[in-house]
Chains A and B, each alone.
Chain A
Amino acid sequence: MDELFGIVNVPSALWIDEEGTIVRPPEPAFPWRPPFLDREIPKGASPQLVDRLTEAKGVRVEHEKYVTALRDWVRNGPESPYALDPDEVIARSRPRPFEEAKAAARFELGQHLHREGRADLAVAHFREAHRLQPDNWTYKRQAWSLTNPDQGPTEEYEGDWVSDVRKIGAENYYPRLEM
């Protein structure tokens, strides 16, 4: 999905009409208010869990705006103001400089090696993908979760979910929707 469409975090979605034409590029796509925004921090939670839940509550989520637009497109099809013209779809998709194309190749190589049972070799490629495209959260989260399901600190990677979110500020974890 990263390579094909430029998706860099989840949940993301793009809209494809019945003709097979992309009418909106990838963007944050929460279909409802995610439970993590309202989850109470359990008593006795580990400091790591407290940190993770606290940061998650600061993430920008615009589910109402997104679902309103989606429903409008379903009702009105190409007449919906949210269905974009081809030039705008392409212009709104992510630029792909050479470093990011190379990051995609490194990530694919890492994935392949991991699936082939060479997790030891995969790490170097994942690390390089992270270095080349530091704002790609799917590359980071995938690699982190293969080593630590909570995406916490590990010996293999310099970053982890909480530390990296803090660096950019939780409110910037997802870009603002431009509907």
Chain B
Amino acid sequence: MIIEGPRVDPAELERRTGWAIKPEGACKDERCVLLPPGEDERLQARVLAERLGMPLVRDDVTGLLCLGPEAGGRALASTEAPDLTLPDLEGMPFRLRACAAERSCSTPGPRGEGAASTCPGGRNCTPSSTPRAGDRRRRPR
């Protein structure tokens, strides 16, 4: 995450890393890390780096900083896919969570049962009201 000054915008931090700033500290999934008092609206990059176990590197010529990913665990800390938008086979942007969002809407079918719905981008998804046989639901840790 590129930072142009010594402080980090919390909204950008959450968008890029998943860490949200809350009254109890910096939180991600079920974890919360205490932050020093006053660290709320604009966060000191150095403090964040220390508390969250993220490396902070600097370009000495431009003064730009970059906050790296959390160290110490695995590349995948959870099995929940991030909210990504990637180009599809036709080069059109496709939001990864579009199908999951559609599934939770459970569009009723013509005879009352669940019917396939269409995600933005034209993909068909089976609504969540019609679980597949033997569906073992996987949840993030």
Contacts and interface: CB of A to CB of B under 8 A. Distances in A.
A23 B138 contact: yes
Contact of B76 (A18, A22, A77): A22
A160 B10 CA distance: 39
Given A101-B69, A101-B71, A109-B64, A86 B55 contact: no
B2 A96 contact: no
B56 A97 contact: no
A78 B135 CA distance: 6
A5 B2 contact: no
7 contacts: A20-B80, A98-B72, A101-B54, A101-B68, A101-B71, A112-B2, A121-B59
Interface of B: 1-2, 53-57, 59, 61-62, 64, 66-82, 84, 96-97, 99-100, 103, 125-126, 132, 134-141
Interface of A: 3-6, 16-23, 25-26, 77-79, 85-87, 89-91, 93-98, 100-106, 108-109, 112-113, 118, 121, 125
Given A22-B76, A87-B141, A105-B69, 16 more contacts: A5-B75, A17-B138, A18-B99, A18-B125, A26-B75, A78-B132, A78-B134, A86-B79, A86-B141, A90-B76, A98-B55, A98-B71, A101-B69, A102-B55, A104-B68, A121-B61
Leading 5 A-B pairs by shortest Cβ distance: A6-B75, A105-B68, A101-B71, A93-B76, A102-B55
